[in-house]
Amino acid sequence: MTIALACDHSALDMKEMVKGLLDEMGLPYRDFGTNTTDSCDYPVFAARAAKAVASGECDRGIVICGTGIGVSIAANKVKGVRCALCSEPYSAKLTRLHNDSNVLAMGARVIGPELARMIAETWLTTPFEGGRHQRRVDLLTALEEGTDLG
Ligand code: RB5
């Protein structure tokens, strides 16, 4: 499972922490930037990682900015991406079980590195439950394709 990584200038340290976790877990990754603390535009980097997931080049993605909100909005505009912004492990677990989220967003100015590590590890190791949740994920895909869900 290859992970697409992206962050903005506010979240370089947290992205490095995530890389360390992925190394420990033996998971390969691709880093889509940014790689400096120069002020940058989070949609550019989040979109690169999200597109890598949507295209199948990477299996999942982790995107990080100050709040996690900007990168999650950007990632969710890429067709095929289900990005979940998580600030605690319970949501990280449930979004894998129920939403089959393929991108995780976190806020480097919101949560500390230990919590982020716990969230990322939980999200990376929790499988999708399927069953009735598959139908709901299919509805998300239909909505994305312009279907009127009524
Ligand atoms: C950058 O200052 C900040 O706006 C960004 O990291 C993020 O929080 C946006 O949602």
Instruction: Give the mean pLDDT of the chain.
Output: 98
Order of strands across the sheet with 3-7? 29-31, 3-7, 60-65, 103-107, 83-85
Among the atoms of ligand 1, which is closest to the Cα of residue 107? 8
For residue 53, the domain's CATH number is 3.40.1400.10
Find, among 69, 8, 63, the residue nearest to 30 by Cα: 63
The whole model's pTM is what?
Answer: 0.98
Domain count, the chain: 1
For residue 149, being part of any structural domain is answered with no
Q: How far is the CA of 137 from the centre of ligand 1 (A)?
A: 28
| 91 ligand 1 Cβ < 6 A | no
What are 30-88's pLDDT values in tens digits? 999 999 999 999 999 999 999 999 999 999 999 999 999 999 999 999 999 999 999 99
- Quote the pLDDT of residue 137: 98
Look up the domain containing 38 and give its range.
Answer: 3-144
Residue nearest to atom 4 of ligand 1 (CA): 66
